[in-house]
Amino acid sequence: MSSLPLSDDCLPADAEVLSLNEVARRLGVSSNRVRTLIHDHQLLGLSRGGEPVVPALFLDEHGIAKHFTGLVEVLLDGGYSRDEAMAWLFTEIDDLGVYPAAAIHTHSAREVIRRAQAAAF
């Protein structure tokens, strides 16, 4: 497989990240499958310290967070690059008081997806 499409590290300093091996363990798949998920936009990864990692907020106790893949699809289909999508996911929405990557784990998930649709260009 070719090199992974990774974003630059634009996350807040306190954002937890997981190595590809940690993601693989949590999902119950191989690290090669995690690489495929990143390549196919089912997950987004970034480079931190020269190593590929995935923000922990993209996962929940069941696997990939329920609304994550749909939200990323809306952003990418709306004209965002992977880097722009990653930055948007970690930019706080003032009136919600949280950034979208965290909001997908709350009752605000559908509102975040609606806002992503409205932000498409």
The pTM of the whole model exceeds 0.95 = no
> Distance (Å, rounded) from C-alpha 72 to C-alpha 8?
17
How far is residue 4 CA from its own chain's centroid? 14
Residue 115 has pLDDT above 70, yes or no: yes
Contact, 63 vs 26, CB < 8 A?
yes
pLDDT at 22 over 50: yes
Beta bridge partners of 45: 6
Domain boundaries, the chain: 6-119
**Separation between Cα atoms, residue 27 and residue 29, nearest integer Å:** 6
User: What pLDDT is recorded for position 17?
Assistant: 96
Residue-wise pLDDT for 59-114, tens only, equals 999 999 999 999 999 999 999 999 999 999 999 988 888 999 999 999 999 999 99
For residue 121, what pLDDT band results from cuts at 50, 70 and 90? low
Q: Where are the beta strands (DSSP E) in the chain?
A: 6-7, 17-19, 45-48, 51-55, 59-60, 63-64
Rounded CA separation 72/100 (Å): 11
Query: Does the structure show a pLDDT above 50 at 1?
Result: no
